[in-house]
Amino acid sequence: MPIYEYRCEDCGHQADHLQKVSERPLSKCPACGKKAYKKLLSAAGFQLKGSGWYATDFKTAAKKPAEKKVELKSEAKSEAKTEAKPETKKASAPATTD
């Protein structure tokens, strides 16, 4: 349902109202009671109600949990391989002359 913004031309009262598209525009000001309440031209606003509307529903940049697990396992394997390799270079001892 759209949210419409109204302002009274007499008293200056301004408010947002949630209305169906098929409803007639409001004309009576709730503050002063005069018929000078006019709908303003503003950015469209609407409210999503019901189940299934989440901020994360349509995000594609975020990775799925299964993909994260695969990456973590491959990183752990590569780290284990580098730690398991023995050092091939031995420290050369200085030559001793007796």
N-term to C-term CA, the chain: 98
Structural domains in the chain, sorted by start: 2-43 (2.20.28.10)
Pairing, β 45-46 against β 2-8:
antiparallel
Residue 68, pLDDT above cutoff 90: no
- The whole-number average pLDDT for the span 73-86 is 57
Q: What pLDDT, on the 0 to 100 scale, is given for residue 31?
A: 93
Q: What pLDDT, on the 0 to 100 scale, is given for residue 10?
A: 93
What pLDDT digit, counting tens, does each position of 14-33 carry? 999 999 989 999 999 999 99
